[in-house]
């Protein structure tokens, strides 16, 4: 059966990029797949060890999941550190993955900056933990934003190398299952996971710079729309968003070399669930002074109910805490079964 896994780090305010690139897709996939949605707190300490109010951050991401429409009864919502299999499998994957693979990761290079020798070992190993998150549940599909594409390719490489290196033992233990990777069909233990990166919102850019992605860690709050921003803040940020002086084009081609205009049209299209060409057919020839208020209204209409729900959940976190505890128990049962298999395959004696 197709199984979905995805995670969000509890490292700050969720923004429109996280919502359109990830969380909204999580909600849609619930209809067709068995889903696990995880607040990845182990990842949260890789770039900065001491986090402000980590419990509050974990609850806040969970509140966003629930407010956006994720059903924790039908699917599994939990925080990563509660299921020890993530860390255990990550260790084994640290021994599968090669240092060269990790050194090539653009996110590591960006986050480590110039002083790479001083980055945490955890930041370098981040993609190995991410592979463990996904493969612990033998998930087949992972909805993410475009920035995670390279990490998902690495997850596929880790799964393929594990399957290859242990092929005989997987076979001998009767644990081989059919695996498809693109065109090819083979056998192995871990699936070759398919990334789900599609639609107009795979990479929402900063409102202040069309060349930078919208990000939680951007020092300028004007660069992003937070899920918790009120209607006034949303309208103000969109009004102040960087644009060029020209009117909107009527054709997609007219957005080339206009990254800020392209981004705003993309956000409109994603929020309205309409193709970009359709948005341009309506707004082509009009000025940003007309387009921006329409975009602000659209954003407020979608985000205001979500942030109101988030506040309601956070006012008394007991429901959130119960959801996370129950989710961890159910995730843990799947994880334990995988870890038993993996220990048998590697050759660790176990109970
Ligand atoms: N700008 C974006 N457009 C589309 N999708 C995005 N995502 C993040 N930014 C955008 C997707 O959101 C999911 C959760 O992200 P995360 O919190 O796990 O990590 P991140 O990518 O590090 O998020 P940020 O906001 O950009 O944080 P910082 O500033 O720390 O780098 C992922 O699926 C991600 O692709």
pLDDT of res. 234: 96
For the chain, residues with pLDDT lower than 70 are none
pLDDT in tens, 177-223: 999 877 788 899 999 999 999 888 899 999 999 999 999 989 999 99
Q: Which residues contact 65 (CB under 8 A, 6 or more apart)?
A: 8, 23, 26, 37, 39, 72, 77
Residues designated as active site: 111, 213, 216
Q: Please give the distance, rounded to the nearest whole angstrom, from the Cα atom of residue 224 to the centre of ligand 1.
A: 12
- Residue 181: the pLDDT is 77
Residue 136 CB–ligand 1 contact under 6 Å: no
Q: What is the predicted pLDDT for the residue at 184?
A: 81
Q: Is the dihedral of CA 85, 48, 72, 35 positive or negative?
A: negative
Residue 208 sits at the vertex; the CA angle it makes with 222 and 6, to the nearest 5 degrees, is 75
What pLDDT is stored for residue 200 in this prediction?
82
Given this model, what pLDDT does residue 161 score?
Answer: 98
Nearest-angstrom CA–CA distance, 5 and 299 = 27
Tell me the helices (H) and strands (E) count for the chain, helix number first. Answer: 15, 7
What percent of the chain is modeled with pLDDT above 70?
100
CA of 113 to the centre of ligand 1 (A): 18
Report the nearest-CA residue for atom 14 of ligand 1: 8
- Domains recognised in the chain with CATH numbers: 3-196+316-346 (3.40.50.620), 221-314 (1.10.240.10)
CA angle, 295 as apex, 289 and 296 as ends, to 5°? 90
How far does residue 308's CA lie from ligand 1's centre (Å)?
22
**Cα(314) to centroid of ligand 1, in Å?**
22
Return the best residue to mutate from 14, 16, 21 for the ligand 1 pocket (most ligand atoms within 8 A of CB). 21
DSSP secondary structure string for all residues of 22-79: IIHHHHHHTTTSEEEEEE-HHHHTTT-SS-TTHHHHHHHHHHHHHHHT--TTTSEEEE
Task: Give the per-residue pLDDT at 1.
Answer: 74
Cβ of 44 closer than 6 Å to ligand 1, yes or no, is: no
Residue nearest to atom 2 of ligand 1 (CA): 17
Average pLDDT over the chain, rounded to an integer? 96
């Amino acid at each position: 059966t197709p199984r979905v896994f995805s995670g969000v780090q509890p490292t700050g305010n969720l923004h429109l990029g996280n919502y359109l690139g990830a969380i909204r897709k999580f909600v849609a996939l619930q209809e067709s797949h068995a889903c696990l949605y995880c607040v990845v707190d182990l990842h949260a300490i890789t770039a900065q060890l001491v986090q402000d109010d980590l419990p509050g951050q974990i609850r806040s991401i969970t509140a966003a999941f629930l407010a956006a429409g994720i059903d924790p009864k039908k699917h599994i919502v939990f925080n990563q550190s509660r299921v020890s299999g993530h860390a255990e499998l990550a260790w084994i994957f640290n021994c599968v993955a090669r240092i060269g693979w990790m050194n090539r990761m653009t996110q590591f290079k960006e986050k480590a900056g110039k002083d790479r020798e001083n980055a945490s070992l955890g930041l370098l190993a981040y993609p190995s933990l991410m592979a463990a998150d996904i493969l612990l549940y033998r998930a087949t599909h992972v909805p993410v934003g475009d920035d995670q594409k390279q990490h998902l390719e690495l997850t596929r490489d880790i799964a393929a190398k594990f399957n290859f290196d242990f092929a005989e033992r997987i076979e001998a233990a009767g644990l081989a299952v059919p695996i498809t990777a693109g065109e090819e069909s083979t056998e192995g233990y871990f699936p070759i996971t398919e990334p789900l990166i599609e639609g107009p919102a795979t990479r929402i850019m900063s409102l202040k710079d069309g060349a930078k992605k919208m990000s939680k860690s951007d020092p300028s709050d004007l660069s992003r729309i937070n899920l918790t921003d009120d209607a006034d803040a949303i309208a103000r940020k969109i009004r102040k968003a960087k644009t060029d002086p020209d009117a909107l084009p009527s054709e997609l081609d007219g957005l080339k070399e206009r990254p800020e205009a392209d981004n705003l049209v993309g956000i409109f299209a994603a929020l309205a669930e309409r193709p970009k060409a359709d948005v341009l057919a309506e707004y082509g020839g009009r000025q940003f002074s007309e387009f921006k208020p329409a975009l602000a209204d659209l954003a407020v209409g979608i985000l205001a109910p979500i942030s109101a729900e988030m506040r309601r959940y956070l006012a008394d976190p007991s429901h959130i805490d119960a959801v996370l505890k129950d989710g961890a128990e159910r995730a843990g049962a799947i994880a334990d079964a995988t870890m038993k298999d993996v220990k048998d395959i590697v050759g660790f004696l176990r109970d």
